[in-house]
Amino acid sequence: MDEFGMGSKNMFSIYGAALNPHTPESDVKRGDLTELDRHTPGGSSGGSAAAVAAGMCRAALGSDTGGSVRLPAAWCGVVGFKPTFGRISRHGLVAYGSSLDTIGIIARNVEDVQSVFGVAAVPDPLDMTCMSSSLRERIKTLTNSRPWTMKLQGRNETGSAPLAGIRVGIPEEYWVNELSAPALESWKAGASRLAALGCDVVSVSLPHTSSALPAYYTLAWAEASSNLARYDGIRYGRRSSIRPDTRDLQNASQKYANTRSEGFGAEVQRRILLGTYVMSSAASEHYFTPSQKIRRLIQEEFDSVFALPNALSMTNPPTPRPTSRPPGIDVLLFPTATGAAPRLGDQENSRVANYVNDVMTVPASLAGIPAISVPVGRTDGMPLGLQLAAQYGDDELLLHVARYL
Ligand code: GLN
């Protein structure tokens, strides 16, 4: 994995990147492949996805702060599920961005993901952000109040329209310039497949999508700088072996600096520095505060398109959807990444190009809603993933639709 979960290509690890088990046909015949010619499994949980794809294990856990379970799953041709924020305990996870960090599940098919989820998605007093039993009950009541939900279990799986009644939204704003032709084709094919299964497929608009990436990278880094402050070598974490002269203050602070410089990789240091900066009194009103506002707008936008009310903002009884709005949708469908896995040595591996990989995954992270990447085919032998997202708490419906897709 990338150090502290920070990365999208598995390159920020002191052990070196995990390798994608898939290789294009043309490469198999070449005898001179170096590691840089191989493809990234994606990140940050690239090792988890590569291990599942290579058949080394049936399922693996990963942590998804901004896409780190979904992106490697897509690039390794397996399923990657980020549940609703709070469904699975984070006890034991090293924190990156606490308001975003979510334990996710990687497996070769949705059924295996469902099995692991059934065991893992339980309340835990050791993680105060893990959903309480009462919130879980409230969500269940809400999702079960849908007229067709009760039929999910007993649906005739071989029938011609097993997903009839489910409305799928295609968000216009995910049609970004960076989207490759194969990713676009797979998106269209996925929409047709869901329509053939009986879904109503409609276009929806989420206007603030383009602001999600800068907002994510501001908030995640701010939280990281705070979370990683404990690695000071005094109370916690690695300590530099250079002995300090306690009578010389400058020397002591040098020791502190050595500890933080030796103990963190360059990317982690960059994020800590920028995260500290965006929260400083001079900069917070330009970066941190606007990012929080963007996050709220993105959450509200998702709420405005889903038919199911958000259990967190729910009044009692739930406010019905205003009739002035078009009927709501149940799941959103869009690509997981703009294309297939790049090679580890690609020139496109600039820092900004790395961050752009997350453009499709961070909106669901900011909103805390469940999202899943399922494999949908290949381009030049390399897998592509499609993503489904659903309203906060609607994980079971999401998994149900994902199974068919
Ligand atoms: N690539 C994103 C980042 O570097 C997401 C990482 C994650 O989900 N852990 O922050």
SS3 helix, strand, coil % of the chain, rounded to 5?
A: 40, 15, 45
Residue 209 binned pLDDT confidence (cut-offs 50, 70, 90): very high
Using one digit for the tens of pLDDT, what is the confidence trace for 70-115? 999 999 999 999 999 999 999 999 999 999 999 999 999 999 999 9
Using one digit for the tens of pLDDT, what is the confidence trace for 316-332? 666 767 777 788 999 99
Q: Does position 179 have pLDDT exceeding 70, yes or no?
A: yes
Q: Does position 360 have pLDDT exceeding 80, yes or no?
A: yes
C-beta 163 within 6 A of ligand 1:
no
Distance 362 CA to ligand 1 centre (A): 9
Q: What is the CB neighbour count within 10 angstroms for residue 146?
A: 17
Distance 45 CA to ligand 1 centre (A): 9
C-beta 45 within 6 A of ligand 1:
no
Distance 237 CA to ligand 1 centre (A): 22
Ligand 1 atom closest to Cα of residue 64 = 8
Averaged pLDDT of the chain: 91
Using one digit for the tens of pLDDT, what is the confidence trace for 112-140? 999 999 999 999 999 999 999 999 999 99
Rounded to whole angstroms, how far apart are CA atoms 66 and 348?
Answer: 20
Domains in the chain and their CATH numbers?
A: 3-209+294-404 (3.90.1300.10)
- Asked if residue 101 lies in contact with residue 66, where contact means CB atoms within 8 angstroms, the answer is no
| Per-residue pLDDT at 157 | 58
| Per-residue pLDDT at 28 | 80
Taking residues 328-353, what's their average pLDDT? 88
C-beta 393 within 6 A of ligand 1:
no
Q: Does position 181 have pLDDT exceeding 60, yes or no?
A: yes
The amino acid at residue 285 is: E
Using one digit for the tens of pLDDT, what is the confidence trace for 24-55? 988 888 878 888 899 999 999 999 999 999 99
Distance 78 CA to ligand 1 centre (A): 18
